[in-house]
Structure 1
Amino acid sequence: MAQVISARSTRRFLKANRVSRASRVVALAIALGAGAGAVTLPQVAYAQSFAFNAVSIEGNARIEGSTILSYAGIARGERVSAAQLNDAYQRLIGSGLFESVDLIPQGSTLVIRVVEYPTVNRINFEGNKRIKDEDLAAIVQSESRRVFSPRVAESDAQAISEAYSQQGRIAARVTPKVIKRSDNRVDLVFEVFEGGVSEIERIGFVGNGTYSDRRLRRVLETKQAGLLRAFIRKDTFIEDRIEFDKQLLNDFYASRGYVDFRVTGVNAELAEERDGYFVTFNIEEGQQFKFGEITVTSDLPDVDPELFQSVVKARPGATYSPSLVENEIARLERLAIKEGLNFVRVDPRITRNDRDLTLDVELQLTRGERIFVERIDIEGNTTTLDRVVREQFDVVEGDPFNPRAIRESAERIRALGFFETADVQAREGSTPNQVIVDVNVEEKPTGALSFGGSYSSTDGFGASIAFSERNFLGRGQTFSFAIQTASSSNRYSLAFIEPRFLGRDVAFGIGLNYSETSLLSAYYNTAEGTFQPTITFPLSENSALQLRYTLRYSDLRDLDQTNVYNPAAPDPDATIGEIIGAEGTLGERFDSSLGYTFSYDTRRTGLNPNAGVLLEFGQDFGGLGGDTNFVRTKARAVAQTKIMNEEVTLRASFEGGALHYSKGSSRVNDRFVIGPNVMRGFEYGGMGPREYIPGTDVNDKLGGNFYAVASFEAEFPLGLPEEYGISGGVFYDIGSVWGLDSSTANVLYEDFSARHVVGVSVFWDSFIGPLRLNFSEAIKKEKRDVPLNFNLTVSTEF
């Protein structure tokens, strides 16, 4: 009797029985472990050896016999043991080509009988809605027209489940199944049960003493599930996001002087229903350190440390921050380049003083390695031109290599907002003293097209269309236009900005605007158009200057002079006062002016991460041609700080303007007219000079040549769960609008008269954006002022 060495793997799918092509689906079984079968021999076989003069292969249809022999590794005439036959079997099964393998010695002939795995006809996905078929197809390793592998199919199912886990759907299940087809083919189907999102119900902290849980939760990218859980996707549990949150916490504490801070662990407990997580961050804050002595030293004989010491801005006693040290290093290295000192590096040396909780910083100037930039390679940008990316580098090919400058360039590339990811790495070039900078980017959409409708009590029903592109034609330029139409107004605007004019750090822009109004509440119409090219360039790290030219067209039209009040013949049906009536006779007017705006902003580069100052001052000088000569001045100052462990934000601001004509005079559409966006508590044009004539309908808001508004406010939590995104505030505004070029006996409030307003605010981070609801009360106003006790605006931070 022939001795049979037989081993069979699992055959739960693809049985010998027929399966309907149309609908019958059989469960796929995965053969875990290539050696699931057993090699069985009588006991005497273990002491025997075999020599085969011939090998017969049966059952193979697609796979060549030579391929099977190569996997078996049995040479003709060579004596082999039973153990070696078992090894041959394991190699054949391990190839992943066969469902089962039998090795049958028949005298001097070895019969290898195989059952091949089928080929994959096609791959389908069923039950998936959150992830598209094409995205799942990119995840799986199984391929059409390739040999089916249960092991690969099981791995694919796991990969799909992991993709759903990354979206917070940890209850997702994926079942691979096969449908038998003719010619030993199968359709591979992945049945997906997506399940629900496992949201984060609560985020807590253990070990925090300085900052509250509420404050720390605002630092994290991950949010708690709240009222808007249907719109917010940052409340799903994603492990990678938790890791990013740990880094955010480190950065937050480090920027506030807690150099010993660390996250000792993160506990994520899953609710019994598997629909929510409770996440706890275990942290150690440590002590807060401040700057001690800050000195600049040098081991280079041609470098004067005193020159570099004079540009250091950080001062002893300020809260220590690694980012401030980085700023000082960058500032010193830029000065070295300016002084013609190449390859100068700044090595920070930190000395810790635990007794007084200070850190002495020694910035040592030393000679770095003589390494040059060989070239900059950019990949992944299909739309954006190479030059747009290259312009973010301060170095070009052949310049000395500075790792810190490369890191800063990488941050500028990411800050463009054109790319989903931007990876910048340096590698050795063709010689040891050269490096190649590789820039790999992945682009993202940068354009937007929007349509909308609106209704207001003054403009009626309206429609709008707007288009904007932040990377126009891949050149890094900004282009936008908008059209807004309503029953009583039409507005058209177009803007273009080139941020790197002539390849320099200068922004060139052009703005075109035209508007027409025909308000039912007024008895005249207006038209205004402007053409304004601008050039903006930095003056220092925190300041910038904009120069501009403005050509402005304006007109008061459709003003019926029969409705103008005439003091010589008073008419009780008059609707328009003397001043606007006189201004309406002036007709069309062109104003041509040159102007500038200086701005100083410390919000991002200041020494205090919790405080900042914004200063703006601008003037326009009319008289470069045109019909008028004038000087228009505007100023704005805002200061903000956070107190009580950053729980409360205090903000103070001042805004004012002055308008003076030396040729011609101001009209109502030239003067300052302010509304609740500048001073709360009053409607647009609700305060300031107005012409009021008792016994008639004349009650014209005139605006003023001068205005000044000071605002003071505080923002603080209301004790509500922060996942609601609701906080509160109080404010106090004081301001006035005054001054006219011409007046009549019926003009009220031409002189300065301060109005005072107090109120409360509710801030809401809604799914449509940050909203601010103001409830105000004018505690001091004039009789004919028009107060506004409530208004809703989009909240902005200065």
Structure 2
Amino acid sequence: MKAGSKFLNAVSAVALSAGVVASGAGAVTFVSATAAEAAVIQRIDVRGASRVGAEAVRSNLTITPGKSFSNTDIDNSVKQLYGTGYFSDVKISVSGGTLVVNVQEAQLVNQVVFNGNRKIKDDKLATIVQTHAAGPYSDTQIQSDIQAIKDAYAATGRSEVEVTTQVVPLGEGRVNLAFVINEGDRTKIDSINFVGNNAYSAGRLAAVINTKRSNFLSFLTRKDVYNEDKLHADEEALRQFYYNRGYADMRIVSSDASFDEATNKYTLTFNIEEGQRYDFGPVTVQSTVEGVGSDQLLPLVRTKEGHVYSAKEVQKSIEAISDQVASAGYPFARVTPRGNRDLNNNTIGVEYLVDQGERAYVERIEIRGNSRTRDYVIRREFDMSEGDAFNQQMITKAKRRLEALGYFSSVNISTQPGSSPDRVVVVVDVQDQSTGSFGVGAGYAAGGDGLLLEASIEEKNFLGRGQYIRISAGGGQEGSRAYGVSFTEPYFLGYRLAAGFDVNHSETSSNDNYDYEETSVVLRVTAPITEDLATTFRYNYKQMKYDADNSDLSDLSAPYQHLVEDSPWTRSSVSQTLTYNTLDDTVLPREGIYATATQEIAGLGGDSQFYKIYGKARYYHLLADDADIIGSVSASAGYVVGFGEHLNVFDQFTLTNGDIRGFENKGIGPRVRGDNDDPLGGTTYFTASAEATFPMPGFPRDFNLRGAVFADAGTLFGNDVDLRGDGIEGEDASLRASVGVGVVWQSPFGSLRLDYAIPVLKEDFDKTQNFKFGINNQF
């Protein structure tokens, strides 16, 4: 008999004979259910609870000896006992002054095992199922576990997986449970079609959605996995793409997934109706909030008449207005945009209506779907908590923050009515995704360490706590080695402060003249100023050792002889960095600015005393939307001044082959004159770069292979190092420049880039390097 039927039978039995009382010389008379409303029992007799124990049964009853109870109490007690999962049958009756509770214990699971699984390991499946060792055996729960296993396999593209169970009785009410899994073949995406798209090509739209066609590397990316949730997410991505480019009437007529059993492949088809492209018409603000005038709010609006209509800019305007009104003391204020279409001119005028709004409070925030990420990691991205005023713009902002974390493949926030009209339940549905990555970097240093390799592993959501950790190690052909560890706690002491540390150690050799060893420790804390602007404070400590290894120091220039003879050296400094970031995407930005500016003071002990200021900014802009040609320009500069007599060699700036391609690391700038031409660095530098990237012709867009053309220019000059009698060259501000081409592949292994640069402006003593190669891998 099923548990539900047993429960109904038990309730029926209770309803018919709710209680008994003594009558005469031991005679028993059944009383009606109404009489049971005033029944009182003196003791509770538990029968059948050999493993669970009588006291555990009593603790799950709502009936207490000496207190009156009703049929409702009996119903609730039966439900509560069934709810524990430890009983397959429950019956409650009253005999005289005794409440008799008869239970039949469910079987206990001794062990849970998984058979036939190769693509998903046991430890991962164990976190998916809810049936565990020492827990009750429940047919209902096991069916739910089977579906959970199927869903997990469907997420990897194996939607045809079959899951059955085997139960082995062990006696004394114990069983072993085995989930038997036939994984089946992985389904694939044969093609993705778009119908009705005129403004944008199928290739451009294919780059917008997350689902990709199958290729020979799809087993690494898993982006060719079909499921309904991903299809809906792709639909929303297409809508936002069009809405932010002026197509406010765009709609997806249909989206279809056709499965071919013969090939085990899906064909996806999106039927699109684009509509007309709009610009912004007149933009106004109307406020009915006392003390907050429309003229105060209009400057906050991001939407400007004549610009291309963008739903994203409307949303940012709403948030800016809402924040301003809330800071003025109106937390319930509501901002409602009203669009006025002018079909003759293809414009949409926007009127922002600001009113007091209805008073509503957050009853609770309910989080669902996070199998790995802790609840508090999600809650802390909200600027409100239970009991606070409800504000829809705070919900929108929290959703954007959660998506920006990179912990989740999907984030959906909805609201439900609370226990009263002025109470709202906020429901957060998320789906965890892989947040680990590994990196491999490679390079070649002519005349130095030869081939250089570095490997790293990082985790952005360590143990589901939202913490960041990175470990790296590398080396070169000539015995160079490098190690590093980084850790960041994004909410230090419960505040929105990202605190962390970096520890690095490296060992290199220079032309067999000396060995160099460096150890650095950085303590840092980052605080947000606005959504786009943040500041970071650091304490930096570095120790530098130069070892001639019994070599003849006469082979070194005088400044470097000084470094070796007085080694080791230490530097202790504090620095502050401002970071401005409006990039639309961290992997392949198409629009936005990323800029940093740093000032550093050294002299808190150690051998260095200086003030440095330096920074870099890069601006991205989509030059041709449908062709997906992305342009970017960047500029950087720096200046250092010493507090003492001279700067140390290691305190001056040096430029890398990433600053001006076509030159080696430390390849330009002031050098010691002579055969050894040791680099000295410089006190001042400027660089500028322009680049355009585009989809590589002849390759499918979703292969993510892009070409690049670029031009770099810059200079490094000035010197404050004690030359100790040696001469110097390259001290002036002569301009260096290079042009080149590159290939960028956003591969399943990460972003791989190969550049070939030709210096077009250089000095005779500069060190050039035409090829540059690097990889940053993610999984």
Q: TM-score when scaled to structure 2?
A: 0.72
CA contact (8 A) 2:613 2:638 kept: yes
Give 1:519 shift. 1.0
* Distance apart, 1:772 and its partner CA: 0.8
**1:680 corresponds to:** 661
Q: Which residue of 2 aligns with 1:362?
A: 351
- Distance in 2 (alpha carbons) for counterparts of 1:796 and 1:225: 20
Residue 703 of structure 2 aligns with which residue?
724
Compared with structure 1, are the counterparts of its residues 591 and 383 closer, same or farther at alpha carbon in structure 2 (3 Å cutoff)?
Answer: same
Deviation at 1:605? 11
Q: 2:691 aligns with which of 713, 720, 726?
A: 713
Question: Does 1:662 pair with 2:651?
Answer: no
Unpaired segments of 5 or more residues in structure 1?
1-121, 180-186, 565-574
Query: Residues 290 and 189 of structure 1: is their aligned pair in 2 closer, same or farther, counting only changes over 3 Å?
Result: same
2:509·2:516 contact (CA, 8 Å) conserved in 1?
no
Whole-Å Cα distance in 2 between the matches of residues 236 and 623 of structure 1? 56
Q: Does 1:639 align with 2:619?
A: yes
Query: Partners in 2 of 1:148 and 1:656 — Cα distance?
Result: 68
Name the CA distance, whole Å, in 1 between partners of 2:553 and 2:428: 69
Aligned 8 A contact 1:220 1:245 in 2: yes
Partner of 1:615: 595
Partner of 2:575: 595
- Quick one: structure 1 residues 433 and 508, their matched pair in 2 at CA, closer, same or farther if it must change by over 3 Å? same
Q: Residue 482 and residue 321 in structure 1: after superposition, are their counterparts in 2 closer, same or farther (change >3 A)?
A: same
* CA apart distance, 1:294: 1.6
The residue aligned with 1:790 is: 771
| Distance across 2 between alignment mates of 1:691 and 1:277 | 65
Q: What is residue 496 of structure 2 aligned with on the other side?
A: 505
Determine the structure 1 residue equivalent to 2:194.
205
- Does 2:540 match 1:550? yes
State the one-letter code of the partner of 1:730: V
Partner Cα distance (1:414, 1:665) in 2: 49
Instruction: Tell me which residue corresponds to 1:7.
Output: none
Look up the equivalent residue of 2:293 and give its one-letter code: D
Is 406-415 or 199-208 further displaced after alignment?
A: 406-415
Q: Determine helix, strand or coil for the equivalent of 1:325.
A: helix
**Partner-residue secondary structure (3-state), 1:208:** coil
Within-5 A mapping of 1:316-335? 316-335=305-324
Q: What is the CA distance between 1:352 and its match in structure 2?
A: 0.8
Distance 1:311 1:644, change over 3 A: closer
- Counterparts of 2:379 and 2:164 in 1: how far apart (Å)? 48
Give the conservation status (yes or no) of the 8 Å contact 2:749–2:777.
no
Aligned residues: 654
Cα distance in 1 between the residues matched to 2:178 and 2:642: 79
User: Deviation string for 1:226-249 (max 9, x for gaps)?
Assistant: 342443422244444333222211
In 2, the alpha carbon distance for the partners of 1:472 and 1:653 equals: 34
Q: 1:248 to 1:139 in 2, by over 3 A?
A: same
Secondary structure of the 2:656 match is coil
The superposition leaves residues 487-542 of structure 1 with CA deviations (integer Å, 9 ceiling, x where unpaired) of: 634444443433334443333333333x3424152412233333433332233342
Unaligned runs of 5+ in 2: 1-110, 169-175
Corresponding residue for 1:93?
none
Name the residue aligned to 2:717.
738
For residue 774 of structure 1, the aligned residue among 750, 755, 758 is 755
Q: Which amino acid aligns with 1:373?
A: V
The answer on whether the counterparts of 2:654 and 2:666 sit within 8 Å (CA) in structure 1 is: yes
Instruction: State the AA in 2 paired with 1:726.
Output: L
Picking from 326, 350, 354, the partner of 1:337 is 326
C-alpha contact 1:311 1:332 (8 A) present in aligned 2:
yes
Amino acid at match of 1:778: P
Q: Secondary structure at the match of 2:655?
A: coil
Identify the residue that residue 372 of structure 1 maps to in structure 2: 361
Deviations 1:164-203 (A, max 9, x none): 6665457778999999xxxxxxx99999875544432332
Contact 2:558 2:726 (8 Å CA) reproduced: no
Matched letter for residue 663 of structure 1: G
Judge conservation of contact 2:441–2:776 (CA < 8 Å) in 1: no
Code of the residue aligned with 1:524 in structure 2: it is Y
Paired residue for 1:582? Answer: 562
Q: CA–CA distance in 1 between the matches of 2:433 and 2:265?
A: 32
Confirm or deny that 1:517 pairs with 2:507.
yes
Cα distance between partner residues in 2 of 1:471 and 1:503:
17
Cα pair distance change 1:794/1:283, threshold 3 Å: same
Q: Find the aligned partners of 1:231 and 1:603 in 2 and give their Cα distance.
A: 27
Quote how far apart the aligned CAs of 1:158 are. 11
Give, as a single letter, the amino acid of the residue that structure 2 aligns with 1:642.
L
d(CA) in 1 for partners of 2:428, 2:681: 54
Q: State the match for 1:94 in structure 2.
A: none
For residues 181-196 of structure 1, the aligned pairs below 5 Å read: 196=185
Alpha carbons 1:136, 1:160 under 8 Å: kept: no
2:479 is matched with which residue: 474, 488, 503? 488
Q: Is the 8 A contact 1:516 1:525 kept in 2?
A: no
Q: Is it true that 1:346 corresponds to 2:335 in the alignment?
A: yes
Q: CA 1:157–1:511 in structure 2 vs 1: closer, same or farther (change >3 Å)?
A: closer
Q: Name the CA shift for 1:484/1:273 in 2 (closer, same or farther; >3 Å).
A: same
Quickly say closer, same or farther: Cα 1:504–1:272, change in 2 above 3 A: closer
CA contact (8 A) 1:388 1:476 kept: yes
Deviation of the 1:421 alpha carbon? 6.6
Root mean square deviation of aligned Cα: 4.6
Per-residue CA deviations over 1:7-38 (Å, capped at 9, x if unaligned) read xxxxxxxxxxxxxxxxxxxxxxxxxxxxxxxx
Aligned match of 1:116? none
Identical aligned pairs, as a percentage? 33
- Specify the code of the residue in structure 2 equivalent to 1:670: D
* Aligned residue in 1 for 2:217: 228
Moved more, 528-537 or 409-418: 409-418
Once the two structures are superposed, residues 25-58 of structure 1 have per-residue CA deviations (whole angstroms, 9 ceiling, x without a partner) of xxxxxxxxxxxxxxxxxxxxxxxxxxxxxxxxxx
Give the C-alpha shift of residue 755 in structure 1.
Answer: 1.9
Identify if the C-alpha distance between structure 1 residues 767 and 502 changes in structure 2 by more than 3 Å, giving closer, same or farther: closer
Counterparts in 2 of 1:751-770, with a 5 A limit?
A: 751-770=732-751
Whole-Å separation in 1 of the counterparts to 2:138 and 2:379: 47
* Post-superposition offset of 1:467: 6.6
Query: Any conservation in 1 of the 2:660–2:737 contact (CA below 8 Å)?
Result: no
> C-alpha separation between the residues in 2 aligned to 1:175 and 1:716?
50
Please, which moves more after superposition, 788-797 or 621-630?
788-797
The more displaced of 680-689 and 461-470 is: 461-470
The secondary structure found in structure 2 opposite 1:547 is strand
2:443 touches 2:774 (CA, 8 Å); kept in 1?
Answer: no
Contact 2:656 2:665 in 1 (8 A): yes
Instruction: Describe the shift of the 1:227–1:687 C-alpha distance in structure 2 as closer, same or farther (beyond 3 A).
Output: farther
Name the SS for the 1:329 alignment partner.
helix
CA–CA separation in structure 1 for the residues paired with 2:754 and 2:585? 31
SS at match of 1:251: helix
For 1:249, the equivalent position in structure 2 comes to 238
Given that 1:376 and 1:436 are in contact with CA atoms closer than 8 Å, whether structure 2 keeps it comes out as: yes
SS in 1 for 2:304: coil
Q: Which residue number corresponds to residue 520 of structure 2?
A: 530
Distance in 2, Cα, partners of 1:138 & 1:375:
26
User: Structure 1 residues 383 and 780 mapped into 2: Cα distance closer, same or farther (>3 Å)?
Assistant: closer
1:139-288 matches, within 5 Å, as 167-169=156-158, 196-268=185-257, 273-288=262-277
- 1:538 partner amino acid: P
Deviation at 1:442, TM superposition (A): 6.8
Please identify the structure whose Cα radius of gyration is greater: 1
Greater mean alpha carbon deviation, residues 298-307 or residues 646-655: 298-307
